[in-house]
């Protein structure tokens, strides 16, 4: 986490963030969206809103968080950005970050996916006081190399944080009742599709290192 990031590495896509929309066409649609929302002068915030709201030209009617447990367990951490976008349903923050990373790179913005764990969850994990040790509780952010600086972006809540430290991330808002998160893994995307159980097992191993 302390190694300096190479922006060019994060212009490339992984298996789950491969673009399916022609980049020229996407940029054209995004420029149109920008012109329709002049009050947002920050391109990263606007991109997060673009993801969360709608663009009929891209066959997307709006994100709806899936509350059905069976749907979430079946689809979390396993779908491509295209599958998430076409389904119009998201299972959580990792889905938002997956699609955001895909779109940001199409705009020429190097973007990471940054996985973090909740401070509250981590304290319980270390003291063996978790209600369900199998459930990993955290949040997925993105980092964007924008105008010469790395900037933290939370696509789920369309927040852009221009000054932040790692591994400890202090937020001015709450995510599931916590404002402090510890980043532990930075990736292009999740890599190969993982089930919820496989994802939790892998992340717990990362925390033990």
> At 194, is the pLDDT very low, low, confident or very high (cuts 50, 70, 90)?
low
Q: In this predicted structure, what is the pLDDT of residue 122?
A: 86
> At 164, is the pLDDT very low, low, confident or very high (cuts 50, 70, 90)?
very high
Sheet with 111-118, strands from edge to edge, namely: 159-161, 149-154, 138-146, 111-118, 178-187, 168-175
Rounded to whole angstroms, the Cα distance separating 137 from 68 reads 18
Rounded to the nearest 5 degrees, what angle is found at the Cα of 106, between the Cα atoms of 97 and 81?
40
Half-sphere exposure of 150 (CA within 13 A, CB side): 16
Ordered structural domains, the chain, with CATH: 7-208 (3.10.620)
Mean pLDDT over residues 88-107, rounded? 91
Q: Is residue 114 over pLDDT 80?
A: yes
How do residues 40-84 score in pLDDT, each as one tens digit?
777 888 888 787 765 555 656 666 777 788 888 888 888 999 999
How do residues 5-44 score in pLDDT, each as one tens digit?
899 999 999 999 999 988 898 888 888 888 888 877 778 8
pTM of the model: 0.88
Which has more pLDDT, 190 or 165? Answer: 165
Q: Is residue 143 over pLDDT 90?
A: yes
Q: In this predicted structure, what is the pLDDT of residue 64?
A: 72
Rounded to whole angstroms, the Cα distance separating 158 from 156 reads 6
β-strands 159-161, 149-154 pairing: antiparallel
């Amino acid at each position: 986490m302390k190694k300096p990031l190479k922006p060019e590495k994060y212009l490339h896509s992984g298996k789950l963030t491969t673009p399916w929309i022609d980049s020229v066409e996407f940029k054209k649609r995004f420029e149109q969206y920008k012109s329709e929302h002049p009050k947002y002068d920050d391109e990263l915030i606007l991109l997060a809103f673009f993801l969360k709201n709608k663009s009929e030209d891209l066959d997307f009617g709006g994100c709806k968080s899936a509350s059905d447990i069976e749907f979430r367990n079946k689809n979390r951490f396993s779908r491509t950005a295209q599958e998430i976008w076409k389904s119009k349903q998201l299972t959580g923050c990792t889905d938002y970050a997956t699609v955001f990373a895909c779109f940001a790179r199409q705009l020429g913005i190097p973007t990471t996916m940054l996985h973090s764990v909740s401070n509250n969850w981590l304290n319980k994990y270390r003291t063996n006081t978790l209600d369900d040790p199998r459930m990993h509780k955290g949040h997925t952010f993105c980092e964007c190399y924008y105008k010469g600086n790395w900037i933290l972006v939370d696509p789920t809540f369309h927040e852009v944080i221009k000054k932040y430290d790692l591994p400890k991330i202090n937020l001015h808002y709450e995510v599931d009742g916590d404002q402090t998160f510890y980043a532990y893994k930075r990736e292009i995307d999740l890599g190969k599709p993982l089930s919820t159980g496989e994802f939790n097992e892998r992340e717990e191993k990362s925390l033990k290192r």
